[in-house]
A = this chain, B = another copy of it.
């Protein structure tokens, strides 16, 4: 397609080195937090799927034993929203690193050092709003969660399969908007199953509160953590 193949090959080689280094750091984080019984949840989604709102609602239910790392290209708006709830939140801005569209494990490691693990039972990472890049970088979480709002369309698992494949749980958000859209939940569930049959699915609306109990229940069970202990 007239594409500069040599340059692309070089780019891929550099990326593979980065990814390998990243995976090692991620494994270290996962092990360290497991040793301290801290459950680490990585939230991924498109911009505006409701990650921060979900964390706010989760904090209201689970309290201040949650610490949060916020990833954004620019601004500290999300960290400020959470600090208002009395939660320790650390903002990573990727702007200085060329506006990176993902978070890397070494940045998470540095953020954990800043936050400290004392009094922490849950660590949430709100990844950069993006269905592509964050899926490529393991951040060391015990549970990878993908949020998809009902206004985004049922075709997204087929279009962005990797994000769904690396996720243990898919949260279908903003279900209160369902009556207004030609959105088929069975179709979305079938598409998720096609790309990742093992992915659990929970429907919820942080707006109406519907489905939030199921989400909190999963967090209380700390599934990834227990599974890793086997």
- A residues whose Cβ falls under 8 Å from a Cβ of B: 1-4, 7-8, 10-12, 14-15, 17-18, 21, 46-48, 72-75, 77, 97-99, 101, 104, 106-107, 109-110, 128-133, 136, 149, 151-153, 155-156, 158-162, 174, 176-177, 180
Partner of A14, one of B14, B158, B162, B174: B14
Are A48 and B46 interface neighbours, CB within 8 A? Answer: yes
Query: Given A2-B110, A14-B14, A15-B98, list of 12 further CB < 8 A pairs?
Result: A1-B110, A3-B104, A3-B107, A48-B153, A73-B132, A73-B160, A74-B160, A77-B159, A132-B133, A176-B180, A177-B180, A180-B180
- In the complex, which residues of chain B have a beta carbon less than 8 angstroms from the beta carbon of A99? 132, 136, 162
- In the complex, which residues of chain B have a beta carbon less than 8 angstroms from the beta carbon of A158? 74-75, 77
Min CB–CB distance A165 → chain B (angstroms):
11
Are A7 and B17 interface neighbours, CB within 8 A? Answer: yes
In the complex, A211→B158 CA distance in Å? 31
In the complex, A155→B129 CA distance in Å? 12
- In the complex, which residues of chain B have a beta carbon less than 8 angstroms from the beta carbon of A1? 106-107, 110
In the complex, A97→B159 CA distance in Å? 15
- In the complex, which residues of chain B have a beta carbon less than 8 angstroms from the beta carbon of A160? 47, 73-74, 129
In the complex, A132→B12 CA distance in Å? 19
Are B4 and A106 interface neighbours, CB within 8 A? Answer: yes
Min CB–CB distance A50 → chain B (angstroms):
9
